[in-house]
């Protein structure tokens, strides 16, 4: 993602602590208290500008969504979207996914979404891919038993790698689609990247991977 430096971004995010949660480790094990309800918690890792979570939040008011994005200048757009729509069920953390254990307790999350994550095509960067086994271990610990990871990408190489990574980890694969927009899958909410790539005629790959207990 091309980043435009916005020096005011951090301050602006801090000015909206009900949307971009500051000191998230204070809420570890207590996210339902912060949302003020008992609804399931779905987390998107590498959320970008928030289009997917805002769309999901409207469609599913009975789910609490938390997006994790490490770049403040990118998250600024996501924050502004939620500010405008006044959605109470969408929050963000300006944090790195690698730190998730500091922010959530074991089995506190009901689902993880990974959308159009950076492919890191060089072998030596494998550990940075958000579908690498090290990250799967993290998600497994934080997800409820038999929890699911829902994954979309335009990148065939990353998709093949991820299917293998999920299977090698012992996860079960469901709803594998090699061309999501020409499949009969209902209820898809497009991300920014998905919109951009599908306009160029590129295929979108999708699957759901479930941990076994």
Please report whether residue 70 would count as binding ligand SAM according to CB under 6 A. yes
The structure tokens listed for 177 are 């689609």
Q: Least separation, in Å, of the C-beta of 213 and ligand SAM? A: 27
Please report whether residue 71 would count as binding ligand SAM according to CB under 6 A. yes
What's the CA gap between 123 and 125, in Å, rounded?
5
Please report whether residue 16 would count as binding ligand SAM according to CB under 6 A. no
Please report whether residue 68 would count as binding ligand SAM according to CB under 6 A. yes
Please report whether residue 131 would count as binding ligand SAM according to CB under 6 A. no
CA 205 to the chain's CA centroid:
16
194 is in an annotated binding site: yes
CB 44 within 8 A of CB 113: yes
Please report whether residue 139 would count as binding ligand SAM according to CB under 6 A. no
Pick from 19, 31, 35, 48 the residue near ligand SAM by CB under 6 A.
48
Please identify which residue in the block is written with the tokens 């912060």: 34
Nearer to ligand SAM, 19 or 74 (CB): 74
Nearer to ligand SAM, 67 or 147 (CB): 67
Please identify which residue in the block is written with the tokens 């000191």: 23
Nearer to ligand SAM, 155 or 183 (CB): 155
Please report whether residue 120 would count as binding ligand SAM according to CB under 6 A. no
DSSP run (H or E) holding 193 = helix 192-199
CA 16 to the chain's CA centroid:
21
Burial class (CB in 10 A: 0-12, 13-18, 19+), 195: exposed
CB 48 within 8 A of CB 74: yes
Q: List binding-site positions for S-adenosyl-L-methionine.
A: 44, 69, 96, 118
Residues making contact with ligand SAM (CB under 6 A): 1, 46-48, 68-71, 74, 96-98, 115-118, 191-194
């Amino acid at each position: 993602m091309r980043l435009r430096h916005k020096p005011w971004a951090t301050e602006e995010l801090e000015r909206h602590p009900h949307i971009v949660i500051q000191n998230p480790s204070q809420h570890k094990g207590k996210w339902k208290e912060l949302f003020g309800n008992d609804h399931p918690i779905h987390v998107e890792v590498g959320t970008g500008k928030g289009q997917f979570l805002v769309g999901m939040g409207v469609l599913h008011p009975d789910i609490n969504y938390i997006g994790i994005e490490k770049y403040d200048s990118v998250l600024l757009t996501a924050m502004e979207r939620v500010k405008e729509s006044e959605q109470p069920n969408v929050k963000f953390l300006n944090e790195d996914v690698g730190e998730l254990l500091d922010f959530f307790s074991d089995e506190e999350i009901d689902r993880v979404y990974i959308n159009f994550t950076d492919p890191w095509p060089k072998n030596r960067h494998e550990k940075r891919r958000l579908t690498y086994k090290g990250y799967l271990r993290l998600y497994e610990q934080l997800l409820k038993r038999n929890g699911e990871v829902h994954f979309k990408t335009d990148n065939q190489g990353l998709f093949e790698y991820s299917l293998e990574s999920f299977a090698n980890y012992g996860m079960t694969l469901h709803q594998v689609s090699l061309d999501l927009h020409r499949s009969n899958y209902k209820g898809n909410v497009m991300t920014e990247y998905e919109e951009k790539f599908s306009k160029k005629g590129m295929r979108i790959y999708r699957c759901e991977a479930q941990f076994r207990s």
